[in-house]
Structure formats: structure tokens, C-alpha cells
Amino acid sequence: MNLLNTTEAAERLGVSARRVLALIEEGKLVAQKVGRDYAIQESALESVKVYGKAGRPPKQEKAATGRANANGGTPTRKRRGKK
């Protein structure tokens, strides 16, 4: 039984230590409070699914709609303004 602290668990999962604390608070990661830190069993990390890095996911490529132009298929807007 190998025990990890939040920093070590964060390195193994590829997330921040704050995210590990959030997973514990949400009940998605089982841990025991020891003093001011948490002890996390290494086997408990397998139950946590982490989907890539934090933040907004990258944009998906859109299928061409037949309206191709210089912007690679993205329609442009005409600017309205004073002449």
C-alpha cells in the first residue's frame, strides 16, 4: 500500500494540487486527512478520470459548407459604418 500526498497525486494525474483537493471535496477521489494534508492510496488514482489539460477544449474542425472563401470556408461580415 503506497500512500501519496496531494502534490504527488497531482503529478501522477497531470493536474494541479488544487484540482486534487477539489476531487477529494467532490468525493471523486478517496483520501484520509492526516494533519493538514491528505493521504491518498496509489490505487485510488485509477478511479479518477482526468480529461487532458485544464481550460477550454480546442476547437473542432468544421465541415465545409460549400461557401468557401479566402478565410477557409468561414463567411465574412460586411462592415457597416460611416462613409
Residue 36 lies in a domain: yes
Q: How many Å is the maximal CA-CA distance in the chain?
A: 75
pTM: 0.59
Residue 67 lies in a domain: no
CA atoms of 27 and 14, how far apart (whole Å): 19
pLDDT tens sequence for the chain (83 residues): 799 999 999 999 988 999 999 999 999 999 999 999 999 999 999 888 665 566 676 788 766 555 555 556 666 677 777 76
Residue 24 lies in a domain: yes
Residue 68 lies in a domain: no
* pLDDT score for 50: 61
φ/ψ of 62, rounded to 5, equals -90, 145
* pLDDT score for 46: 87
- Provide the edge-to-edge strand list for the sheet that holds 37-41: 3-4, 37-41, 32-34
User: Which CATH number goes with the domain that contains 26?
Assistant: 1.10.1660.10
Helix or strand holding residue 3 (H, E): strand 3-4
